[in-house]
A and B are shown apart, each in its own frame.
Chain A
Amino acid sequence: MAKKKKIVIAVTALNAIDSPGPGVAVIRAIRECTDFDVRIIGLSYEALEPGIYMHDLVDKTYQIPYPSAGTDSLLGRLIHIHEIEKMDLIIPNFDAELFNFIKLRDKLKAMGISTFLPDLDQFEARDKVKLYDFGKKHGLLVPADKVIFEAKDLEKVAEKIKYPMVVKGKFHDAIIANTLEQAQKAFYKIQAKWGLPIILQEFINGTEINIAALGDGEGNTISVVPMRKLYITDKGKAWAGITLDDSSYIELAKKFIKATKWRGGCELEVMQTADGKSYIMEVNPRFPAWIYLTAAAGQNQPASLVKMALGEKLKPFSEYEVGKIFVRYAWDLITNITEFQKISGTGEL
């Protein structure tokens, strides 16, 4: 039997914490695919990201500069890592870092490193700040919203959007406000954490559905798996979820991917109202933290992304297992001070 080629894949978002990054789930799904052998390089920002210490999943970890340091700084670090590791592919999984990686896409390609990311205009079209206009253009239901930079604008916007409204940060966090006082409090709280602008969004009452989807960049949807959260944390993150059988969610994801010609993984956060309307609340431009469920249900999205990134043409999946459940759990991983010292001091482990 011919030996499988070893593919070197770098993955970010190893923070498998209570509000987890998708990295560890992405790696788990990739490792489960028997079509290739992989060496996994973790790219971390902080020394206590749990994935750094999961040596059965991550072969070697390198710290990389924070996104705010810019593309030059990131590129310099990646060149160094590439000299050692000869990376075939990088899969970034954080919203805040994607801009830099998309900007560096061509330079990485010239170095022999593939990515499978949306173009900058695709990436920006689904930005929270522009989502309403995007929905309008493509016939997708998106709640009305208004982007503001000052708290004094809250009162004026509330005349149009009405209470309750959702006060959202550019990257994360959403707080439901029923009064002007609550909206002001939410504005300052989110501003302090995520900066400006703040998005004020119409409140839609319904059932939240999450859809993990994978596009090939030519308008084709390779995989879609809808999931409903069965248990959520105080931060609104899924702690348990179940795959659903509803063709309307599949069609919605296909419509989004066709409209954007989305390349790579994404997550549609949808609110299904009692009268059956599906509002797109947000589009996350990367795999969600629960992405391993797609592999468990029969559509291994991370492994499919790897194949497409390396030039393989894939046929869309047509089936997945309905009623597949994930239940997340916390586990105290034990490591030694020497490991912590190494990643903290040298930026490598």
Chain B
Amino acid sequence: MKLKKNIATSEEGFIFNPGTGDSFSANPIGTDIISLLKDNKSAETIVEIICAKYDVDQSQFVKDLDDFESQLKDYGISD
């Protein structure tokens, strides 16, 4: 999954889509995922990094990541 090219993000988790004017706030884990997606990291790498940083069950996180990615797509943030 890739974020759309023009999507602006901040370290505080603010996401702005300049094409639609929509803006969103992500929680700290969401902010980390967005940042990793911006760096073109694969889903496997994101799972690895997040699970190492946070106390989270890997199989649960894989499902949550999938859900988060479909939200990003629905909101027009990713392709």
Contact = CB atoms under 8 A, between A and B. Distances in A.
Interface of A: 207, 227-228, 230, 241-242, 244-246, 322-323
B55 to A, nearest CB: 36
B19 A245 contact: yes
A346 B49 CA distance: 75
A226 B8 CA distance: 18
Contact of B18 (A207, A230, A241, A323): A323
Contacts of A323: 8, 16, 18
Nearest to A272: B20
Contacts of A322: 18
Interface of B: 6, 8, 16, 18-21
A241 B19 CA distance: 13
Tell me what chain A mostly uses at the interface: helix, strand, loop, or mixed.
strand
Nearest to A228: B21
B21 to A, nearest CB: 4
A207 B20 CA distance: 9
Contacts of A242: 21
Nearest to A226: B21
Contact of A230 (B6, B19, B21): B21
A253 to B, nearest CB: 16
B16 A245 contact: no
A314 B65 CA distance: 51
Contacts of A228: 20-21
Given A227-B21, A246-B19, A246-B20, 18 more contacts: A207-B20, A228-B20, A228-B21, A230-B21, A241-B21, A242-B21, A244-B18, A244-B19, A244-B20, A244-B21, A245-B6, A245-B18, A245-B19, A246-B18, A322-B18, A323-B8, A323-B16, A323-B18
Contacts of A230: 21
A245 B19 CA distance: 5
A227 B21 CA distance: 8
| Among B16, B19, B20, B21: residue with most chain A CB under 10 A | B21
B4 to A, nearest CB: 11
Contacts of B6: 245
Contacts of B19: 244-246
Nearest to B19: A246
16 contacts: A207-B20, A227-B21, A230-B21, A242-B21, A244-B19, A244-B20, A245-B6, A245-B18, A245-B19, A246-B18, A246-B19, A246-B20, A322-B18, A323-B8, A323-B16, A323-B18
A205 to B, nearest CB: 15
A200 B20 CA distance: 28
A241 B16 CA distance: 14
Nearest to A246: B19
A242 B18 CA distance: 9
A244 B8 CA distance: 12
Contacts of B16: 323
B48 to A, nearest CB: 33
B41 to A, nearest CB: 25
A288 B18 CA distance: 21
B12 to A, nearest CB: 15
A176 to B, nearest CB: 22
A325 to B, nearest CB: 9
A323 B6 CA distance: 12
B3 to A, nearest CB: 15
